């Protein structure tokens, strides 16, 4: 069970690194360089898939962690 948690944590780290960096332009708030920063932007295609997969893997990580905690 611990091995599954370790593998899942590595997958979660990789998925988090694959997601697009939406906060990279946050520094332009001060200078007013990016007017589109606060507009609603929809995720599409691969970005939507990675986002949903990260959410599912995060839930699986929590469930396995709770199972390990209660069975130990």
SS3 46: helix
Q: Can you give the residue range of the structural domain that contains 6? A: 1-17+43-72
Please tell me the pTM assigned to this model. 0.70
* CA-CA-CA-CA torsion sign (54, 41, 18, 21): negative
Q: What is the pLDDT of residues 23-62, one digit of tens each?
A: 555 555 566 555 555 566 677 888 889 989 999 999 999 9
In order of 2, 42, 65, 66, the CA distances from 9 in angstroms are: 11, 27, 11, 14
Say how many CA atoms lie within 13 Å of 69 toward its Cβ.
Answer: 6
Structurally, how many domains does the chain consist of? Answer: 1
What is the longest distance spanned by two Cα atoms in the chain?
Answer: 53
The answer as to whether 24 is a domain residue is no
């Amino acid at each position: 069970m611990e091995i599954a948690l370790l593998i899942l944590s590595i997958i979660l780290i990789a998925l988090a690194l694959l997601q697009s960096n939406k906060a990279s332009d946050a520094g332009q708030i001060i200078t007013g360089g990016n007017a589109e920063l606060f507009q609603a932007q929809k995720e599409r295609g691969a970005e939507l898939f990675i986002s949903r997969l990260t959410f599912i893997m995060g839930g699986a990580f929590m469930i396995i962690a709770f199972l390990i905690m209660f069975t130990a």
